[in-house]
Structure 1
Amino acid sequence: MTVGDIIGGGFRLLRERIGAVLVWAVLYLGMNGILALTMRPLLHDMVALQRGTGSSVAPTALPGVMSQLSVLNLGMLLLVIVLYAAGLRAAVRPQESRFAFLRLGFDELRLLGVGAVLAILFTVAWLTVLMIATFLIALLSVASPIAGVLLAIPVVITVVALSVYLQVRMSLIFPLTMLRRRIALGEGWALSKGHFWTLFGAYFVIALIVMVAFTAVSSVTLAPYFADLANSHFSREALQLAQQHQLERQFGTIDARTILGWLLAAAAGAFWIALGAGALGTAAMGLLHAEFDDIGSIYE
């Protein structure tokens, strides 16, 4: 299993399951459109308040508006989970292709549970390391401020490196949970053992590809905003005015640029899901096959 194999698996899923990916993009577009249209009145009033032209929203109505936005954000999160589960299902259980691999059941619930558990474990580990590091830096700074500053540099590097290491080592838990139809915390951690650099290299390249894709989308949809920033000379008033103009463009009249932005964002979102899930599934399946081959060779 090489970096190229993992990346190629992501593009292979994108190429071979293009119909499903298009369905994912349509769902992503629909949810983004609903979210944007719901937020439009609230943000329109925020722009009006900034310009001093008044607002049609009573203060007592704001809790209801925020509750509605919270429900929509929860719906967006649920959609992302369903879409990512569909991507993983396409990668590790390709025979279940009906309905564009989309389901809403125990697979999605298990992935949500795995994500919650890993987020808690990761946060606890990160905070523990950070608290110990902060204590040591503060203790050393009492004796020598310069020594405390010098110690802070390797500590920050260590914390970042630990975060990356844990995320890479835990990454295969998701495709294995989809494959096994049970939460596979231990198996996912064990399967990634000895393959950190291969996995890290593949994920790094994929992150760069996705970043380029979203940057390309932003360059089209946010071109006027970037132009305002370039002409602002980074003065406070000009930056605030550029932000206000961007809000007016984004939540004003729905025009061709707005629709183009929604379409490109949906395409980029589906591309990210297919590429990421395909790469994870390819890595998990490839390492499983290699492990079985190694075990089988012992008995030959």
Structure 2
Amino acid sequence: MGATLLVSVLGPVISALMPANVRHGLETITADQTPTAGQLLDALILVAPILILGLAVQCVMAAAVYRLIFRHDDTRFGYLRLGVDELRLMGLTLICFGLAMVLVVALTMASAIVVALASIGGPAMEGFVGGVAWLFSVGILVFVLVRLSLAPVATFAERRLAIFESWTLTRGQFWRLLGAYTLALACIVVIGLLIIVVFFGIAGVIVLMSGGQVADISSFISTDGSSLRGYLSIGVIAYMVVSSVFSALYNAVIAAPGAVAYQQLLGHPPGQPLAAQPEAG
């Protein structure tokens, strides 16, 4: 939790000290209006350092969970570090992101062609086929993501880039893995809702006792983000502490199912051969 708290503290510092052009790039990416391809590319170039930093933080947190499960004796720095294992996870993430984008583009083009052909049969047929094509595309994307979901775990455990080993390990295990991931996400949602209810309940009591109104609760944790001084309030600091607790729980709950599934499907400790099977008498 200390690491996630540090990240929560660094976030406002980075936000306050962020150059104007980088801030503009973030606004372009998060704007409601879809940017053009050129604008998106320029924005991504501007915010690349922040994206890389965020990717590094996520990989460090995931590697800490994997290290706890696979190398529990390696307790240096509380399982947290930035080394070769984390760099491999970062590289794997970028590769998988590229593959996912290729898959999304391919599915989008295929769906567009099918819908265009279906439009010959009229608007009703076009709408029906469009809905089916969308569901089919989502199903294919989810299927591929689940089948490749153990790639980060395998990469860490085997100390090498292991992109497609997950496809072999997860053969016939799609529904079990999907259920495990769904349950993990459901747990995170429940925990998040409980934390939100408790935190805003306490914040509401504090605001009302200080003479404020219910509408003032949002301002209790809000800041303009333009300077560090705006973050030095009880509400914002408390929110950062609560966020760090939730982030620690999130990283553990999200990363652990894949690591446990990998260990069980592998059938033996990572890096060790399968135990010799007794010969049939």
TM-score of the alignment, normalized to the shorter chain, above 0.5? yes
1:182 alignment counterpart: 160
Q: Distance in 2 between matches of 1:279 and 1:293?
A: 23
Aligned to 1:121: 99
Trace 1:72-87 onto structure 2 (pairs within 5 A): 72=50, 74-87=52-65
The equivalent of 2:8 in structure 1 is: 32
Contact residue 221 and residue 257 of structure 1 kept, 8 A: no
Describe the shift of the 1:182–1:256 C-alpha distance in structure 2 as closer, same or farther (beyond 3 A).
same
Letter in structure 1 aligned against 2:142: V
What SS does structure 2 have at the residue aligned with 1:162? Answer: helix
Quote the sequence identity (%).
Answer: 24
5 Å matches for 1:104-143?
104-143=82-121
User: Given the two structures, how large is their TM-score scaled by the length of structure 1?
Assistant: 0.70
Q: Which residue of 118, 143, 152 corresponds with 2:130? A: 152
Q: Quote how far apart the aligned CAs of 1:210 are.
A: 0.9
Q: What secondary structure sits across from 1:185 in the alignment?
A: coil
**Distance in 2, Cα, partners of 1:168 & 1:85:** 19
Cα distance per residue 1:224-281 (max 9 Å; x no partner): 999xxxxxxxxxxxxxxx8x99478410564332222111111111111112222211
Q: Deviations over 1:43-68 (max 9, x none)?
A: xxxxxxxxxxxxxxxxxx72266589
Offset of 1:205 from its aligned partner?
0.2
Note closer, same or farther for the CA distance 1:203–1:72 as it changes in structure 2 (3 Å cut). same
Cα drift, residue 296 of structure 1: 4.8
CA contact (8 A) 1:137 1:152 kept: yes
Give, as a single letter, the amino acid of the residue that structure 2 aligns with 1:107. D
Tell me whether 1:62 sits opposite 2:20 in the alignment. Answer: yes
CA contact (8 A) 1:92 1:178 kept: no
- The 8 Å contact of residues 153 and 258 in structure 2, kept in 1 or not, is answered as yes
CA distance in 1, matches of 2:263, 2:220: 48
Q: Secondary structure at the match of 1:209?
A: helix
Q: CA RMSD in A?
A: 3.3
- In the TM superposition, what whole-angstrom CA distance separates every residue of 1:158-199 from its partner, at most 9, and x where no partner exists? 111111111111011111111110111232210111111111
Is 2:61–2:251's contact at 8 Å kept on the other side of the alignment? yes
**Deviations along 1:190-220, whole A, 9 cap, x unmatched?**
0111111111111100011112222333345
For 1:224 and 1:253, locate their aligned partners in 2 and report how far apart those are by CA, in whole Å: 19
Higher RCO structure (Cα 8 Å, ≥6 apart): 1
Q: Normalised by the size of structure 2, how large is the TM-score? A: 0.74
- Alignment-derived partner of residue 215 in structure 1: 193
Contact residue 31 and residue 76 of structure 1 kept, 8 A: no
1:146: Cα distance to partner? 0.6
- The answer on whether the counterparts of 1:217 and 1:261 sit within 8 Å (CA) in structure 2 is no
CA distance in 2, matches of 1:177, 1:288: 13
Q: Please state if 1:289 is matched with 2:261.
A: no
Tell me the amino acid that sits aligned with residue 95 of structure 1.
Answer: D
Structure 1 Cα separation of the partners of residues 22 and 261 of structure 2: 45
Are residues 135 and 116 of structure 1, via their aligned partners in 2, closer, same or farther at CA, if it must alter by over 3 Å? same
Structure 2 equivalent of residue 250 of structure 1? 222
The question of 1:201 aligning with 2:179 is answered yes
Are the counterparts in 1 of residues 5 and 244 from structure 2 also a CA contact under 8 Å?
A: yes
Name the count of aligned residue pairs.
Answer: 242
- State how far apart, in whole Å, the 1-side matches of 2:23 and 2:84 are: 32
SS at match of 2:72: coil
The CA distance in 1 between the partners of 2:176 and 2:236, in whole Å, is 40
Greater per-residue helix proportion: 1
Contact 1:110/1:177 (<8 A) preserved: yes
